[in-house]
Structure 1
């Protein structure tokens, strides 16, 4: 309410002449340019000190940014500086009476922060999603099941989706619509995930049972569904059996279903 009644151009002209108001507008632009530069440098230095540049190394977003001569840290820093530049430009235009007070205090002060948060959410969503994919892929690289390869993609696009919902919320999309989108996405994720990971879930359940009951261990000679060899590794999803310099990777649900023969000599 106070902002709606505050008339910046009138206040400036009560202190200065018409030409003085124009000079103040130019001064605001100069100060905005300097402040934007300082914000850019400060933000970039802060992000680098926090290790953000190393954290995003190897992500698709960082690779794409590098291809056009940019970086994730640079984009975030420029985004912060751009907000300062835009603020100074709008203030200067308002002082020069090129933008009315209502637009400045109501439209600008509500729209610009929302646009900034929306853009930041999208950028962070892309970066975090790519990084999460790399981390999950690295953690699951020892699991030799084809279904596992889709898990990092699901993690990445789930983060993308959440970031998109945040951005849409900032742009004025109603909460009900966002909840509907979230419900549809969750249902699709659960339904399609259940179909895609049916064998993986079965292997995991069988693996937990085998790890708890321990019918065989590393170093045991076993025969599983016609495959004979020495057990090299057992994890939740698969059992590694080696014979004649050949490594067999057997899903645990197959071990449980076909049975196992432990050979004692």
Structure 2
């Protein structure tokens, strides 16, 4: 009888322990953890939204990093010093920016635009199916076209400054045309290349550019024929040196001591008077070197 009671007590204890075991353990789901509201949140938000958020965050970070990297590379290659004094740089500084900052901002905007298109594609937006293919092809072209335009404007401005500085000593009104012609020629070529990047037919513009260059050469040759003659004569005088500074010479009706010989003119001084004789006169009338 005692054995029977003990058996019954043991059975009751076993039943109580079995009842106290978690149902999840009895069913074999030992490795699963109930995440509660967090799992509900993940289930409630579509997967495309999560992917879009990841693409957005990655795109913003990449845009910032590439913008900073672009600015540092431009500074390292001396771009700020190269564009100093150009009209584009002055305009940018009026708005509290610079050429380097503008190019860095373009890079950031390009990356952000690609990121936006990536979000549309990941989200499977209805308009993205046709919009994605066309825009992916057009966006890089637009980016490079803008960069080409900015570079063309900066290079044109800088070329005008350099040519103006080189021709500062030449006191001829026609000389001032050359820096502006060089500037607008670079502008025109930059616009031509930018339009070709956008897929615009540029054959007519190329023909117009060829006619423009021929007109510059022809009209420039007519307008500056005397200047070109003096330059050719000056090149000969500087190379052969038939007379030098300190020599007494006579060119046409002008006689005196040579003070300076440049590419275009010869400076002669006599009795407090200075004659500036075009070098072309040396070929036209000849030169007499006076020896005492």
TM-score bracket for the superposition, by shorter chain length: 0.7 to 0.9
- The answer on 1:103 being equivalent to 2:131 is yes
Q: 2:261 aligns to what?
A: 234
Q: Which stretches in structure 2 are left out of the alignment for 5+ residues?
A: 1-42
CA drift at 1:133 = 1.9
TM-score between both structures, scaled by the size of structure 2: 0.76
CA drift at 1:17 = 8.5
Query: What CA deviation, in whole Å up to 9, does each residue of 1:13-66 have, x standing for no partner?
Result: xxx997221232233222222211111111101100111111111112111211
CA distance in 2, matches of 1:224, 1:194: 26
Q: Which stretches in structure 1 are left out of the alignment for 5+ residues?
A: 1-15
CA distance in 2, matches of 1:17, 1:111: 36
SS in structure 2 of the partner of residue 143 of structure 1: coil
Structure 1 stretch displaced more, 195-204 or 137-146: 137-146
TM-score between both structures, scaled by the size of structure 1: 0.83
CA drift at 1:94 = 2.7
- Quick one: structure 1 residues 103 and 57, their matched pair in 2 at CA, closer, same or farther if it must change by over 3 Å? same
Q: How does 1:65-144 map to 2 (within 5 A)?
A: 65-96=92-123, 97=125, 99-104=127-132, 106-144=133-171
CA drift at 1:203 = 1.3
- Quick one: structure 1 residues 153 and 102, their matched pair in 2 at CA, closer, same or farther if it must change by over 3 Å? same
CA drift at 1:184 = 2.1
- Quick one: structure 1 residues 17 and 186, their matched pair in 2 at CA, closer, same or farther if it must change by over 3 Å? farther
- The answer on 1:40 being equivalent to 2:86 is no
Q: How does 1:2-81 map to 2 (within 5 A)?
A: 19-81=46-108
Q: 2:39 aligns to what?
A: none
The alignment's C-alpha RMSD in Å is: 2.4
- The answer on 1:150 being equivalent to 2:166 is no
